[in-house]
Structure 1
Amino acid sequence: MADAAPIHVLLAGPRGFCAGVDRAIKIVEEALRQYGAPVYVRHEIVHNRFVVQNLERQGAVFVEELDEIPDDGQPVVFSAHGVPKAVPAAAEARRMFFLDATCPLVSKVHREAEQHHARGRHMFLIGHAGHPEVVGTMGQLPPGAVTLVEDEADARAVQPPPGAALAFITQTTLSVDDTAEILAILQSRFPGMAAPAKEDICYATTNRQAAVKAIAPQVELMVVVGAPNSSNSVRLKEVALRAGCPRAVMVQRGRDLDLALLDGVSRIGVTAGASAPEVLVEEVLARLRERGPVTTEEIVVAEEKIIFKLPAALTAAAPQQA
C-alpha cells in the first residue's frame, strides 16, 4: 500500500516494562542460569504470553498450583502479583526452595494490610475480584478482615462491621481517576478511615496513564500493546477513551492489529502495558509500516529510573539443596 497516506505515531513515554516486571523476569532467568531447568513458576510470572513463552523456551514450567510440582528440589518462583500467605506456608511444609518475585510495591500493600489489621482496623480493598494481586493481598489476613470494593456502586453500598475502625488499601494497577472517585465516596461515608502513608497505585501505573492522557486528545486511534488479563493494560485503553481519543484497541502482537482500522486515520497513539516488552511495540510499528509511511514522535511525561534488587538467594552464592 505504497500510496497510503502517511501516519504519524505518538509513542507514550513511559511505556512497557516497569521495575517490578523486569525484576520478576530476571528472577526466573537467573534461577534458570544458576540451577538449570526446570524452574517452576506458579501462575504467569507477568500477564504477557510472549514473555511466558520466551521463559518456557528457556526451561521454565508454569503451573497453577504447587501440587502440580514434583519434589525434585528445583526452584519454585511466585509471580509478580503476590500470593496469599498460605502459598509460601505450603511450600515450606514441602521443603521447597522458593523465590518470591512479588513486586516490592505489592509487598508494600501487604505490609500495610498487616499493620492496619494489627491496629484493629477493618480494611476496604479497592480492586478487581479474582485478580491475582487482589487474591494475594486478601490472603495476607484472616477471612473477613478485608472487604473488597470494586466500583462506585460498591462504595455506596458497602457496610463494614458495626463500630469497626476502618482503613483502605488499593490494588496497584487501577485507574487513577476511577479509584479517586471510589475513594471520594468512601471518605464521604467514613471520614475517619485511615489512608496509606503513600499511595498504593504504583508509579508505573500512574506514569503510563499520564502519558496516555497527554496523547489521547491528539490522536484518532490509540493502540495499547498488552494482554486482556493485564489489569494495567486494560486500564490504559479505558483511560485513552476517557481522555478524548475516539477509538482505542488492545493488541498482544503486531500481527493482531487490523490495518482496516487505519482507514482515514493520520495520527495514532501507541503505548504498552507494564508487562509488555518493547519488542512488541516494535512489532506494532512494523505492522503500521506494512500499510505505508510512518513517522514517530515520543511524548515523555516522566523519567523512570527505579530498579529493584533480586532476592539475596540469587545474588549470594547459590544455595545447594540437600
Structure 2
Amino acid sequence: MRVLLASPRGFCAGVNMAIDSLELALKAFGAPIYVYHEIVHNRHVVEHFRSKGVVFLDSLEDAPVGSTLLFSAHGVSPEVRAKAKARQLTAIDATCPLVTKVHLEAIKYAKEGRTIVLIGHQGHDEVIGTMGEAPEAILLVESPEDVDALEVANPEHMAYLTQTTLSVDDTSRIIARLRERFPLIAGPAKSDICYATQNRQEAVAKLSAEADVTLVLGSQNSSNSQRLAELSKERGVAAYLVDGPQDVRPEWLEGAETVLVTAGASAPETVVDAMLDYLKETFGATVEPRLVREESVSFPLPKELRQLASS
C-alpha cells in the first residue's frame, strides 16, 4: 500500500491559538477553567483538556460566579458575553480572528439596514454566534433550494455572509443562486471561508485523483472535516471520517493500492501519526508526503493572555 500524506492538514492558526490559550490559562490560573462549548470540535483535544481539569459547558449558569471562562474558537453572541459579565466571569476570548471578521461584517450590514443571508449549517456553534450579532436581520440558508424559498421585504438591500468552514464548491453554488435571485446583493470583499479550510479542500481535490480511498482524521461534529470527506466522495473516491485508527474497518481498505490521508483543521498531528503507524503495521504501507500549498499563518493570543505569555 502507498499512502499519500496530504499537506497542509490538521491544526490551523485559529485552532493553534485557541489551544495555546487554554494551555496558558491552565498554567496561569489553575484548574478548573471553564470553556463555553468545546474548545474545538475534536474528541481527542476535548478529552485531553478534560483530563487536565477543564470543564466544557453549554450553559453559563454552570460556571461558578467569578470563575475563569474561555470562549472557544467558534465565537459567541453578544448575549453570551453579557451573561458572562453579569456572572462576573473572567472571560478570555479565543475566538478565531476569521470568525470575528464575519461577526463584524454582520454588524456592519445590520447597521446599514440590510437583510443578511448567512450561508451555514443550522445549529453549528459558529452560526449561532454570528446570528446572535443581528438576530432580527439574519436569515440562514444551507442550499440553493433554501435560496429559492427566501422571502425578503427589500430584495434590493441585502447582503450575504458565510460560515468559515464550508465547502468552497457548495458555497459558490449558493452564492451564484443568491446573485441570480438578488442581483444587487452585497458580499464581503474577501471570502469568509478561511484559508485553512480552502487549502485542505484543495489538497483533497488534487490528491484524491490518485487514491483508491481517502481517510480523513477528525471528529463527526467537525464541519471542515466532514467537507473533506464529502469532497473526496464527490470525485468518486470512497472516503471515511474517523477519530483514529481504532475506527477503521479493514474491509474499507481491501484491495486499496493508494490511500490518501489527511486531517481536518481541529485534528491533532498525534492522531495522524497513529493512523500512519496502523497502516504501516497492518498493510506494510509506505508513506509519501505530498505538499500542495505552504502555510505560514499565525494569530496572536487573546489580549488577556499576551502579558502572561511574555512573562
TM-score range, shorter chain: over 0.9
Q: Could you say which residue in structure 1 is the equivalent of 2:296?
A: 305
Please give the per-residue CA displacement for 1:59-90, whole angstroms capped at 9, x wherever unaligned.
2111111001112x331011111111100111
Moved >3 Å (runs of 4+)? none
Q: Could you say which residue in structure 1 is the equivalent of 2:30?
A: 36
User: Which of 254, 277, 281 is the aligned partner of 2:272?
Assistant: 281
CA drift at 1:163 = 5.1
Query: Is the CA contact (8 Å cut-off) linking 2:156 and 2:182 kept in structure 1?
Result: no
Q: Could you say which residue in structure 1 is the equivalent of 2:201?
A: 209
Query: Is the CA contact (8 Å cut-off) linking 1:127 and 1:148 kept in structure 2?
Result: yes
Cα distance in 2 for residues equivalent to 1:294 and 1:34: 43
**Counterpart residue type for residue 223 of structure 1:** L
**Counterpart residue type for residue 59 of structure 1:** G
User: Which of 75, 95, 118 is the aligned partner of 1:82?
Assistant: 75
Q: Could you say which residue in structure 1 is the equivalent of 2:181?
A: 189
Structure 1's 187 and 163: CA in aligned 2 closer, same or farther, altered over 3 A? closer
CA drift at 1:244 = 3.3
Query: Is the CA contact (8 Å cut-off) linking 2:156 and 2:184 kept in structure 1?
Result: no
- 1:91 matched to 2:84? The reply is yes
Cα distance in 2 for residues equivalent to 1:162 and 1:122: 8
**Counterpart residue type for residue 46 of structure 1:** V
Cα distance in 2 for residues equivalent to 1:84 and 1:161: 25
**Counterpart residue type for residue 48 of structure 1:** N
Query: Is the CA contact (8 Å cut-off) linking 2:162 and 2:193 kept in structure 1?
Result: yes
User: How does 1:14-93 map onto structure 2 within 5 Å?
Assistant: 14-71=8-65, 73-93=66-86
- SS of the equivalent of 1:290 reads helix
Cα distance in 1 for residues equivalent to 2:243 and 2:148: 36
**Counterpart residue type for residue 180 of structure 2:** S
- 1:101 matched to 2:94? The reply is yes
Please give the per-residue CA displacement for 1:174-228, whole angstroms capped at 9, x wherever unaligned.
0000000111111011110001011100000000000000111111000000111
- SS of the equivalent of 2:187 reads coil
Q: Could you say which residue in structure 1 is the equivalent of 2:243?
A: 252
Tell me the TM-score normalized by structure 2: 0.97
**Counterpart residue type for residue 275 of structure 2:** V
Cα distance in 2 for residues equivalent to 1:191 and 1:153: 17
User: How does 1:97-246 map onto structure 2 within 5 Å?
Assistant: 97-141=90-134, 143-162=135-154, 165-245=157-237
Cα distance in 1 for residues equivalent to 2:116 and 2:23: 36
Q: Could you say which residue in structure 2 is the equivalent of 1:3?
A: none
Query: Is the CA contact (8 Å cut-off) linking 1:257 and 1:287 kept in structure 2?
Result: no
Cα distance in 1 for residues equivalent to 2:297 and 2:219: 24
> Identity rate of aligned residues, in percent?
49
Query: Is the CA contact (8 Å cut-off) linking 1:221 and 1:268 kept in structure 2?
Result: yes
CA drift at 1:111 = 0.2
Cα distance in 1 for residues equivalent to 2:265 and 2:29: 28
Structure 1's 286 and 120: CA in aligned 2 closer, same or farther, altered over 3 A? same
Query: Is the CA contact (8 Å cut-off) linking 2:6 and 2:203 kept in structure 1?
Result: yes
CA drift at 1:39 = 0.5
Please give the per-residue CA displacement for 1:118-140, whole angstroms capped at 9, x wherever unaligned.
11111000001111110000001
Of stretches 220-229 and 288-297 in structure 1, the one that deviates more from structure 2 is 288-297
CA drift at 1:289 = 2.0
CA drift at 1:164 = 5.5
Tell me the TM-score normalized by structure 1: 0.93
Cα distance in 1 for residues equivalent to 2:155 and 2:4: 52
Cα distance in 2 for residues equivalent to 1:317 and 1:15: 30
CA drift at 1:317 = 4.9
Cα distance in 1 for residues equivalent to 2:23 and 2:158: 41
Unmatched 5+ residue regions in structure 2?
none
**Counterpart residue type for residue 256 of structure 2:** V
**Counterpart residue type for residue 60 of structure 1:** V
- SS of the equivalent of 1:316 reads helix
Q: Could you say which residue in structure 2 is the equivalent of 1:293?
A: 284
